[in-house]
Amino acid sequence: MNHHFVSMGTVVSLSGDLPERATSAVENAFADLDERFSLYRPESEASAIARGDLPLTRASQEMRGAYELAQSWRVATEGAFTPQRPDGVLDLSGVVKAMAIERAGTVLDEFGATHWSVNAGGDVLTRSAGDAAPWVIGIVDPSDRDALLTQCRLGPDARAVATSGIAERGEHIWRIGADDTFAQVSVVAPDIITADVLATAILAGGRHCLELACRTWSIEVIAVTRSGSIFATDAFRTTRPATR
C-alpha cells in the first residue's frame, strides 16, 4: 500500500504493509508538529516566540524539549548544526521534520505494521520485516535531478537516510566559517534524527564536520563537492554507480 500527503512544505510518502487507519494517524502526527513549530503560521507557538510574544522559558514542554535536542546537537557538532538563524530567530525546523518522521514510525509500529517506509522530502525512515527484502533508497544526483547518484540499502542497523543540499532549494543552510565545500550530503544512520542533523551539519560545517561525524557516529556518508568530486564511506563506495 502507498499513501501520499503534503505537510511541512513537502510531500510525505508512506509505503509498505500499512493498516488503513494508520495513515490518518501519521498525517495527524505531522500536522500537530507543523501547527506548533512552523514559522510560516502566524498563530504557531514558534511564531509567537520569534515575535517576542512568548519567552522560551514559558513555552510548552514539547517546544522546550525540541530546543534542548537541537542545542545538544549544536554542542555535539561543534556549532555546525544550530537552531538559531543568523538574525537570532529560533528555528527548530532542523529537527522538527525528523521528529515528525520518527513519530510517524512509532505510530506505524503501534498499529502493527512490520514493513514500512516514511519518506518526507527525501528523508527516509524504514522498518524491515524479517523475511522481506531490505528497502533500497535512491539518492538524486545534484547535477541532474532526473538521475540517481547512488542507492543505499536500509535494514535493522541502518534504518534511516537523509540528504541536505543546495541543488533544489539553493543556499538555505547557514554555513559556518568559509568552508562551503559540499553541494550535497547524504547520511545513513540507525535513526532519522541522527541522519538528518548530520547531513545538515556536514553541509554547513564542511570537511571538519565530516571528519568529526565519521569519527563520532556509526554512519555512512556520501558527499558531493561543488566541483563534482565525491567523498564516500565504505557502504557507498560499493554501491556508487560511477566515480568522479
Name the pLDDT band for 115 (thresholds 50, 70, 90): very high
Confidence of residue 174 (pLDDT cuts 50, 70, 90): low
- Residues 191 and 219 sit within 8 Å (Cβ to Cβ): no
**pLDDT tier at 168, thresholds 50, 70, 90:** low
Q: Does residue 98 lie within any of the structural domains?
A: yes
Is 242 part of a structural domain of the chain? no
Q: Is residue 60 part of a domain?
A: yes
243 within domain boundaries: no
Which class for 209: exposed (0-12), middle (13-18), buried (19 or more C-beta within 10 A)? buried
Q: Based on the structure, what is the number of domains in the chain?
A: 1
Please check whether residue 244 lies inside any domain of the structure.
Answer: no
Question: Each residue of 52-103: pLDDT tens digit?
Answer: 999 999 999 999 999 999 999 999 999 999 999 888 899 999 999 999 999 9
At 240 the pLDDT is 47
The answer to whether residues 209 and 117 touch, using CB atoms and an 8 Å cutoff, is no
Task: Provide the pLDDT for residue 197.
Answer: 97
Rg of the chain on CA atoms, in Å: 18
| pLDDT above 90 for 131 | no
pLDDT class of 40 with cuts at 50, 70, 90: very high
pLDDT at residue 204 is higher than 80: yes
Query: Does the structure show a pLDDT above 80 at 150?
Result: yes
Instruction: For residue 206, give the H/E element and its range.
Output: helix 192-216
Domain presence at residue 161: yes
- Per DSSP, the three-state class of 241 is coil
In a domain, 58, yes or no: yes
The stretch 165-169 carries a mean pLDDT of 67
Does residue 130 have a pLDDT over 80? no
Arithmetic mean of pLDDT, 218-224: 96
State whether residue 127 is helix, strand or coil. Answer: strand
pLDDT band at 169 (very low <50, low <70, confident <90, very high): low
CATH number at residue 68: 3.10.520.10
Provide the residue range defining the domain that includes 12: 2-237
In a domain, 72, yes or no: yes
Residue 242 has what pLDDT?
Answer: 42
- The pLDDT score that the predictor gives to residue 207 is 92
Mean pLDDT for the chain overall: 90
pLDDT at 37 over 60: yes
Whether residue 230 has pLDDT greater than 90: yes
